[in-house]
Amino acid sequence: MSKYLGIVGIWLLLAGTAPGWAYSPLDVQVEWWASAGTEHHVLAIVDFWPENGAADSFAFGYAFDQEQVTGYQVLVALQAANLGFSFADDGGFVTDIWYVKDGTTYHAGYQWPESYWSYWVSPDAGENWDYSWYGAGDRILQDGDTDGWLAKPGDDETSQPVVPLRPQTVVGDLNCDGQVDFDDINPFVLALGEPAGYYDEFPSCNRLNADANHDEHVDFDDIDAFIGLLSQ
């Protein structure tokens, strides 16, 4: 297959879909889960400072049975799991978050204007963030929602939480047979267009193997690089 035909083929397969780029929660490297149930799952991503990428950004999961929880309840549940996460608040306003992992203590506290914990919400595991207009006690999460906590200076208007993603295994291998070949084309298209559908069909595979240009997003920009892998 020529590179040109490959690109045309993938575009034809994608035609008619209008993907809104999104992470699946299964794309995220979760530290651990706090479990109070099994029905619903939400994520909290805690980024101690955006400038160093995912090096000090951690994702935590919370599983529960009731219809909804508040962002504050998520923090309380994570702390109660006693697995290294803790926080402090002043009347519901989060002032400090700590995470102890492998002997290293990560911490940021309220120290205006040098540092404060900004609060974010995402419908798609952090591919897209919105600044929360609610405090954590009023923010409602339902199954699949994600909260973000990012420590940053008061005058920083652009930084958003960095999502820690699962590491790629074999780039371009979307059916996880260890090879990159034509059998990966349909799964690649599914990975681009339907993250949840991809994991339904390939539950043990890694969708981020579709990030062929290594920019931590799976989107149209990966098509050329993916075809390049097929051509090798």
Residues near Ca ion (CB under 5 A): 173, 175, 177, 179, 184, 211, 213, 215, 217, 222
What is the separation, in whole angstroms, between the first and last Cα of the chain?
Answer: 11
- Distance between CA 80 and CA 96 in Å, rounded? 16
- Distance between CA 171 and CA 215 in Å, rounded? 12
Output the CA torsion 95→22→201→59 (10° steps).
-20
- Contact indicator for 138, 70 with CB cutoff of 8 Å: yes
Cross-strand partners of 88: 96
Query: Minimum distance from CB of 4 to Ca ion (Å)?
Result: 21
> Which CB sits closer to Ca ion, 115 or 186?
186
Query: Minimum distance from CB of 168 to Ca ion (Å)?
Result: 11
Query: Minimum distance from CB of 231 to Ca ion (Å)?
Result: 15
Query: Minimum distance from CB of 24 to Ca ion (Å)?
Result: 15
> Which CB sits closer to Ca ion, 51 or 177?
177
Query: Minimum distance from CB of 221 to Ca ion (Å)?
Result: 5
> Which CB sits closer to Ca ion, 79 or 128?
128
> Which CB sits closer to Ca ion, 47 or 222?
222
Q: Which residues contact 95 (CB under 8 A, 6 or more apart)?
A: 88, 89, 109, 110, 117
Q: For residue 170, what are the CA distances in angstroms to 167, 184, 217?
A: 10, 12, 16
> Which CB sits closer to Ca ion, 77 or 180?
180
